[in-house]
Chains A and B, each alone.
Chain A
Amino acid sequence: EAGVTQFPSHSVIEKGQTVTLRCDPISGHDNLYWYRRVMGKEIKFLLHFVKESKQDESGMPNNRFLAERTGGTYSTLKVQPAELEDSGVYFCASSHLAEPSAAGELFFGEGSRLTVL
């Protein structure tokens, strides 16, 4: 079974440009999450989709970030315009459980590394 896949694995862009990251969750997983790790910091929650609906987007830094999940399958995270502080690793995760309990887990993709120059 394929895991969570993310594209691109690494993107280098200049400040002010736009980047779109894509995540394909594990097939059948209704829950999709975006997390981010900026250099030297811990991984931070960005948002959570249940199918195509945003369940929680409290972690989105500002309105330069736009996440979509049309059709409830893959998701995209667009950063426009990118700033230097957006550099980091963006992880996508999926789960088949709505509420990851003690028995549940999130399956993470390998991440998309974003470098803004």
Chain B
Amino acid sequence: RKEVEQDPGPFNVPEGATVAFNCTYSNSASQSFFWYRQDCRKEPKLLMSVYSSGNEDGRFTAQLNRASQYISLLIRDSKLSDSATYLCVVNDSWGKLQFGAGTQVVVTP
């Protein structure tokens, strides 16, 4: 069983629409949670951290449900530049990050 499971997509989203997706993680002792973004053939970059109370960063909203061990990301008013692979990342300890395989989002004009 994978440590972090994600729907690979692709999620095809019209520009301006809202898209949401989530991931599940297996280690209940995981300490912190992140969404990273990875563009094609580039390095992963931190998009946002995920807090238990839920948090928002502009058009992006992240939620964490520790009881059910899932993390979600919602993108509002999608832009063409949001097209990327979104990696669900769980920090078990000391920066030993567990990555999901990624969810591909394609925003279309």
Chain A residues packing against B (C-beta within 8 Å):
4, 31, 33, 35, 41-45, 48, 55-56, 58-59, 91, 93, 95, 98-106, 108-111
Contact = CB atoms under 8 A, between A and B. Distances in A.
Given A101-B31, A108-B44, 6 more contacts: A43-B97, A44-B99, A93-B95, A100-B91, A102-B32, A106-B95
A99 B96 CA distance: 9
Nearest to B55: A102
B57 interface: no
Contact of B4 (A42, A93, A108): A42
B34 A45 contact: no
B1 interface: no
Interface in B31-90: 31-34, 42-46, 49-51, 87
B10 to A, nearest CB: 15
Nearest to B31: A101
B95 A101 contact: no
A106 B45 CA distance: 8
Of the candidates B2, B33, B94, the one having the most CB atoms from chain A within 10 angstroms of its own CB is B94
A48 B32 contact: no
